[in-house]
Amino acid sequence: MKLFTPYRLGALQLPNRIVMPPMTRSRAAEGNVATAQAATYYAQRASAGLIVSEGTQISPQGQGYAWTPGIHSPEQVAGWRQVTDAVHAAGGRIYAQLWHVGRVSHVALQPGNAAPVSSSALVAEGVKVFVDPTGAGPTAGVGEMLQHSAPRALREDEIPGIVADYAQATRNALAAGFDGVELHGANGYLINQFIDSQANQRTDGYGGPLQNRLRFLREVVQAVVAVAGAERVGVRLAPLTTLQGAVDDTPQATYLAAAHLLGQLGVGYLHIAEADWEDAPVMPVAFKEALRLVYPGTLIYAGKYSVERAEEALAKGWADLIGFGRPFIANPDLPERLRSGAALNAPDRATYFGGGAAGYTDYPALEAAALA
């Protein structure tokens, strides 16, 4: 099966085409530092062809959830270094996902209790953010509350500073030992807030016509590529979803233009997040074929894939690599389970966010499960 064949991604030789995509687990330590427990978690999953880390905020302003790791302080870089060292020692490869949530935040998580920032001063209906109401840390659990703080629109003269934050986060990621970086441009976060027409109500050079709405994406990619080199940069997009209030009036045209732009900029891969909830709309085959035509690099798809769906995507050329998200939570040796057809451990949803080792590093691999 093609899913288990090697693949060349830039300078990396991947042993299979299985990607562990980014998944927030909200288990960082004080100061939003990745922990030794995180090193164990990621190293357990090093048999993936490629791991993309959970979203890691590029600045204090970019944080949207409690106990998520950052990559803007020396302590955070050191925390991530223990993770990358553990993954590499286990034979794996890992990219850092760089994250600025924009309006999907809360004043309680912002420096000085400031208003979150966005492309425009719009609140997404029903957006929820995760905060720790106890203040006691990740082991106390992570509470959910509705966002009630209106975001403010970024001034045009503030935008270069955020672009610079992405570039510095890339330097920090490379110093922490990551093999590359992925920009989070999906799920209603800041880059997505600039791209989508209903989220971006600006009237300056970053709003209005499509090329203006793609300007922030272009400037961030250019800054990051200047640091890491294009082949070590990926971008995650969610073209046809409307998560967290990010809605576009002509999504297929918008995201084909974004993919074309990213191809021109030479980024190493495009990571397409399909809807993965029950009864979600199916991404049209014609759109996947069009993405392949306009973007010449590596295409990763993620979103409720089975082995059978993955093989179809690879065989028909829509995708080069396939992300398996939630199954990786409960199955550290997921590639071997998929290859052999072994039963999968069932994940415990109650331990997805916050907590300690339970539901994080204690899921058994096949060998351990057989001995139990």
Cα distances (Å, whole numbers) of residue 159 to 118, 155, 163, 215, 224: 10, 7, 6, 11, 15
Cβ-based neighbours of 220, under 8 Å, separated by 6 or more: 163, 166, 183, 191
Q: Which of 7, 65, 166, 189 is catalytic?
A: 189
Q: Strand, helix or coil at 3?
A: helix
Q: Clarify whether 189 is annotated catalytic.
A: yes
Cβ-based neighbours of 185, under 8 Å, separated by 6 or more: 191, 192, 195, 217, 235, 236, 237, 258
Residues 359 and 345: their CA atoms lie apart, in Å, by 11
Lookup result for tokens 């035509």: 293
Q: Strand, helix or coil at 236?
A: strand
**Helix, strand, coil percent values for the chain (each to nearest 5):** 40, 15, 45
Structural contact between residues 92 and 43, judged by C-beta atoms closer than 8 angstroms: yes
Handedness of CA 193, 196, 200, 206 (dihedral sign): positive
Residues 146 and 128: their CA atoms lie apart, in Å, by 4
Active site residues: 189
